[in-house]
Amino acid sequence: MKIAIGADHAGYRLKDVIVPLLESLGHEIEDVGCDCSQSVDYPDYAMPVCESVVSGKAERGILICGTGIGMSIAANKVPGIRCALVHDLFSAQATREHNDTNVLAMGERIIGPGVAEEIVKVWLSTPFSNGERHVGRVNKVMEIEKKFNSRS
């Protein structure tokens, strides 16, 4: 699977842990940065990841900032992105099974590298359930997106 990954200054150290994990699992990586502790703006890293996912260049995306909140907000502004902020294994599994998320957000200041690695493994290995109720709910979310995007 090709995975796009990006982080801001508050998440780059965790990104540097996750990238080798992804490679060890056999995934192809598109790393959009950042690679420093100098203050940067999280939307500048969320957008290339999301653009890669919606264009089909990458199948999934991973975003990391201090809390994961800013990245997830920015990501969910992009039509076609369903980003979940996850800090535990149950949520990592549920968001794939129930919401068919295509982008994962995490916070380096919230979780440690070991938990983050396990979250990534669960999130990547869990398929969407395709259950009728979940498909219907995801479709309703996409309809909301279409409604508000048609106003611009």
Whether 50 sits among the annotated catalytic residues: the reply is no
Is residue 149 helix, strand or coil? helix
Distance between CA atoms of 52 and 62, rounded to whole angstroms? Answer: 11
Closest CA to 35 of 64, 58, 62, 57: 64
- Which amino acid, 26? G
Is residue 87 within 8 Å of 119, Cβ to Cβ?
yes
Whether 87 sits among the annotated catalytic residues: the reply is no
Catalytic residue among 65, 83, 87, 134: 65
Own/partner long-range contacts of 115-118 (Cβ < 8 Å, ≥24 apart): 115/87, 115/88, 115/89, 116/14, 116/17, 116/18, 117/17, 117/18, 117/21, 118/89, 118/92
- Residues catalogued as catalytic: 65, 98
